[in-house]
Amino acid sequence: MQKINIVWFKRDLRLSDHKPLEKALAQDLPIVLLYIFEPMLLEDEHYSERHWRFVWQSLQDINTTLKARNQQITILGGDATHCFQAIHTQHQINAVFSHQEIGLNVTFMRDQALLHWFTEQGIEWYQFEYGAVIRGAKNRDDWDKNWNKVMREPITPIDLTLAPLTTLNAKQLKCKFTPDIAWLNKEQGMQTGGSTLAWQTLDDFFNRRGKEYYCNISSPTASRSACTRLSPYLAWGNLSLRQTYQALLSHWNEPGFRRSLIALSARLHWHCHFIQKFESECDMEFRCVNQAYDALLTQSSNNNMTHLDAWKTGNSGVPLVDACMRCLIHTGYINFRMRAMLVSFLTHHLNIDWRHGVTHLAQLFLDFEPGIHYPQFQMQAGVTGTNTIRIYNPTKQAQEKDPDGEFIHKWVNELALVPPPLLFEPWKMTPMESAMYQLSSDSCYLSPIIDVDLGARQARERLWGWHKRDDVKAESARILARHVAKKRRPSTVVKQSKTAKAPSRT
């Protein structure tokens, strides 16, 4: 039985700047490029059809590249351990090469079980760092230095011309996978997966759209073209963060581009920063990163399921909130500020525990990345104790970021005839005005699910009062010591809690 090496693709769906593939090619053994559709993820409440369509499109894009060599990626379906066992029975596995997965608890537990099985079988598993994220990092000392080093490393070209690739027979392995028919067609309004389109999107940003990035990043309409739109390609690994950063550096001295590139550079740094937070404190998937806030949510949250459903479906009666949710449902994308506002409205105005909404937005974000999603969600919910509490006023956001009502009119058909400024607070219309603009008397926009101003006032009292507690401050000190470099920490940090624990991927 001939030995083989396996390159296991997960959230790294590309054939360039790929350390596992590069290292596997350095060994003189046949190489299987492998992707596994795992039931535990297909059924996980964080994921939805849009994610798996994007993954399928990405795999087909890889196959288009491999077709010239009469090869393709091996696609299996089933529990990962079962699939590897089936492969090992028919083809002796010498080693497995993959990136470390900074994922959900279910993927970490799967990796732990696989590591145990690989060890029992004498199979080496080589795992490579994901971006500039450091597995098991206890603090952030020298983290920025490492980030710069990793992002500026020369990218080794990967030549597959003479690569000893081989494809496994999924049917013989009894791990055959058949994609859902809905994955096979593009979804209108939704970005399509694959490295080919990732590079086209990157080039289009630098050649046509990017100079307006810094001034249009907060507009719900203008951001759809002014932003890079690379987030799903980065989340699913069609493009590496290093490739993106080095493309940015190559345009650094281009006239008229500097302000946008400074803004983008900061966000690429934050990308790894937040994933590192999740890597270093993975329990935030289940509890507040500042554990002192769990008691506040237990004591004070309303958790009104009728309000939650109205938020989820874009029927809250608050125009910009509903426009953002409906846009997200149909396209998988809204900009950062509008995402923050959706979380703020859920957790602050509606006073609903963030855990009731976190998987819903994960399902909708085409660029769902666990390591960014959880730290960001909690930061916007105001339960970290280390970040400024931002309670977004959806009326003010609409007035400032959608002054002509273009975005609201596009996504909230019920308000199509309502002009600004009435559009931003339709509940203030007179009966004559509501009839003039063809709103039915039972419209949620005449009677939203909450009083926005009252909800914000109560949230400020609730959150700022809790923020002053000693246990919150002690937890904040622990968080800062773990997630912020010593030189950047506030000089007046209180003594750290001795009892708080922060499980990591160690």
Predicted confidence at residue 68, as pLDDT, reads: 87
Q: What tokens appear for 228 in the block?
A: 């890079």
Give the range of the structural domain holding residue 118, as residue numbers without chain letter: 3-128
**215 assigned to some structural domain:** yes
263-294 as b/e: b if 16+ CB within 10 A: ebeeebbebbbbbbbbbbbbbbbeebbbbbbe
For the chain, the farthest-separated pair of C-alpha atoms sits apart, in whole angstroms, at 83
**Is the pLDDT at 371 greater than 90, yes or no?**
yes
**Is the pLDDT at 463 greater than 60, yes or no?**
yes
Do 140 and 224 fall into the same domain?
A: yes
Do 71 and 212 fall into the same domain?
A: no
**177 assigned to some structural domain:** no
Predicted confidence at residue 487, as pLDDT, reads: 72
H/E segment holding residue 97? strand 92-99
Q: What tokens appear for 40 in the block?
A: 């535990």
**29 assigned to some structural domain:** yes
Q: What is the pLDDT of residues 171-220, one digit of tens each?
A: 999 999 999 999 999 999 999 999 999 999 999 999 999 999 999 999 99
Beta bridge partners of 486: none
Predicted confidence at residue 2, as pLDDT, reads: 84
Q: How many residues does the chain have?
A: 506
| pLDDT category of residue 355 using cuts at 50, 70 and 90 | very high
Do 75 and 117 fall into the same domain?
A: yes
**172 assigned to some structural domain:** no
pTM of the model: 0.95
**Is the pLDDT at 494 greater than 80, yes or no?**
no
**356 assigned to some structural domain:** yes
Beta bridge partners of 74: 34
**496 assigned to some structural domain:** no
> To the nearest whole number, what is the mean pLDDT of the chain?
94
**Is the pLDDT at 351 greater than 70, yes or no?**
yes
**Is the pLDDT at 36 greater than 80, yes or no?**
yes
Domain CATH code at residue 261: 1.25.40.80
Predicted confidence at residue 1, as pLDDT, reads: 78
Predicted confidence at residue 502, as pLDDT, reads: 44
| Calpha distance 231→195 (Å, rounded) | 13
Q: Which residue has the tokens 């404190």?
A: 281
**186 assigned to some structural domain:** no
Residue 39 exposed, middle or buried by CB count within 10 Å (0-12, 13-18, 19+): exposed
Predicted confidence at residue 498, as pLDDT, reads: 41
Domain CATH code at residue 81: 3.40.50.620
Do 249 and 296 fall into the same domain?
A: no
The alpha helices in 317-393, defined as continuous H runs, are 319-331, 336-344, 358-364, 370-381
Do 274 and 335 fall into the same domain?
A: no
Predicted confidence at residue 136, as pLDDT, reads: 87
DSSP 31: E
- Domain boundary among the residues 230, 246, 280 is at 280
For residue 356, the tally of other CB atoms under 10 A from its CB is 18
The alpha helices in 26-157, defined as continuous H runs, are 39-42, 49-66, 80-90, 105-121, 143-152
Predicted confidence at residue 491, as pLDDT, reads: 53
| pLDDT category of residue 427 using cuts at 50, 70 and 90 | very high
Do 53 and 68 fall into the same domain?
A: yes
Residues 397-410 have a mean pLDDT of 98
Amino acid at 177: F
| Calpha distance 129→98 (Å, rounded) | 9
Tally of structural domains, the chain: 3
Q: For residues 132 and 272, is the Cβ–Cβ distance under 8 A?
A: yes
Do 201 and 254 fall into the same domain?
A: yes
Q: What tokens appear for 388 in the block?
A: 């400024």
The fraction of the chain above a pLDDT of 90, given in percent, is: 93
Residue 293's alpha-carbon distances to 284, 300, 365, in angstroms, are 12, 10, 26
Residues 252-256 have a mean pLDDT of 93
Q: Which residue has the tokens 């289009």?
A: 204
Residues 75-98 have a mean pLDDT of 97
Do 85 and 96 fall into the same domain?
A: yes
| Calpha distance 425→263 (Å, rounded) | 32
Q: What is the pLDDT of residues 127-141, one digit of tens each?
A: 999 999 999 898 999
Predicted confidence at residue 506, as pLDDT, reads: 53
Q: Whose CA is closest to 200, among 188, 213, 209?
A: 209
Domain CATH code at residue 408: 1.10.579.10
Do 238 and 316 fall into the same domain?
A: no
DSSP 209: I
Do 347 and 459 fall into the same domain?
A: yes
Residues 16-27 have a mean pLDDT of 97
**Is the pLDDT at 291 greater than 50, yes or no?**
yes
**30 assigned to some structural domain:** yes
Instruction: Determine the number of helices (DSSP H) and then strands (DSSP E) in the chain.
Output: 23, 5
Predicted confidence at residue 490, as pLDDT, reads: 66
- Domain boundary among the residues 73, 107, 128 is at 128
Q: What tokens appear for 487 in the block?
A: 């030189």
- Domain boundary among the residues 221, 256, 280 is at 280
Do 154 and 259 fall into the same domain?
A: yes
Q: Whose CA is closest to 378, among 349, 364, 363, 357?
A: 357
| pLDDT category of residue 499 using cuts at 50, 70 and 90 | very low
Do 273 and 301 fall into the same domain?
A: no
